[in-house]
């Protein structure tokens, strides 16, 4: 079970800048998960959804997860390693940097490490936080993905 950092309030997020978060639990990337993602996005490229052809023709020797599938795991993995008390609304306001560095083969496992890179208060008690995160692949030196994501925390009205 992942070790979750609990931040006592939206305002306190700024006190956690540059403190490591995680790692999350490992998540297995199954062919079923890849196929369901392909169905949801209408991206049925053979390198993702045709295991036999991928084994024969892919430079990786197996099907690989979509890069956006790997990215789509970020909210759930971040929730495993971070909780901000007070039930704030969390708005994803963008990705300023994302790099896919290594393919995620079907059957492999991934997990997240993160940190709050920046945090600034906003009018009305909200806070904008920039998170730097890395999604690593078990037993692979290069990370699958690195990114900087902007989240806005809006506290519940008191």
Confidence band for 40, pLDDT divided at 50, 70 and 90: very high
* Range of the structural domain that residue 106 is part of: 5-154
* pLDDT value, residue 124: 87
Residue 43: CATH number of its domain:
3.10.129.10
* pLDDT value, residue 73: 98
Confidence band for 156, pLDDT divided at 50, 70 and 90: confident
Closest Cα to residue 151, out of 111, 123, 118, 125?
Answer: 118
Is residue 115 within 8 Å of 148, Cβ to Cβ?
A: no
What is the C-alpha end-to-end distance of the chain, expressed in Å?
A: 33
Q: For the chain, how are helix, strand and coil distributed in percent, rounded to 5?
A: 30, 35, 35
* pLDDT value, residue 157: 81
Q: pLDDT > 90: what percent of the chain? A: 94
Q: What is the pLDDT of residues 21-39, one digit of tens each?
A: 999 999 999 999 999 999 9
Q: What is the pLDDT of residues 78-134, one digit of tens each?
A: 999 999 999 999 999 999 999 999 999 999 999 999 999 999 999 988 999 999 999
Q: Is pLDDT at 152 greater than 90 in this prediction? A: yes
Q: Which long-range contacts (CB under 8 A, 24 or more apart) does 51-57 make?
A: 51/106
How many structural domains comprise the chain?
1
Residue with tokens 């997020």: 13
Confidence band for 2, pLDDT divided at 50, 70 and 90: confident
**Does the pTM of the predicted model rise above 0.85?**
yes
* pLDDT value, residue 122: 95
């Amino acid at each position: 079970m992942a070790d979750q950092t609990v931040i006592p309030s939206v305002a306190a997020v700024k006190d956690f800048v540059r403190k490591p978060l995680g790692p999350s639990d490992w998540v297995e990337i199954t062919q079923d998960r890849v196929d369901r993602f392909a169905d949801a996005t209408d991206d049925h490229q053979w390198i993702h959804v045709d295991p036999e052809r991928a084994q024969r023709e892919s430079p990786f020797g197996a099907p690989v997860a979509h890069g956006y599938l790997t990215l789509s795991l970020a909210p759930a993995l971040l929730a495993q390693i971070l909780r901000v008390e007070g039930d704030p609304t969390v708005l994803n306001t963008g990705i300023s940097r994302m790099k896919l560095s290594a393919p995620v083969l079907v059957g492999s496992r991934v997990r997240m490490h993160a940190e709050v890179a920046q945090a600034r208060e906003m009018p009305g008690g909200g806070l904008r936080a920039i998170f730097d995160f890395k999604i690593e692949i078990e037993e692979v030196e290069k990370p699958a993905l690195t990114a900087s994501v902007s989240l806005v925390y809006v506290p519940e009205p008191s």
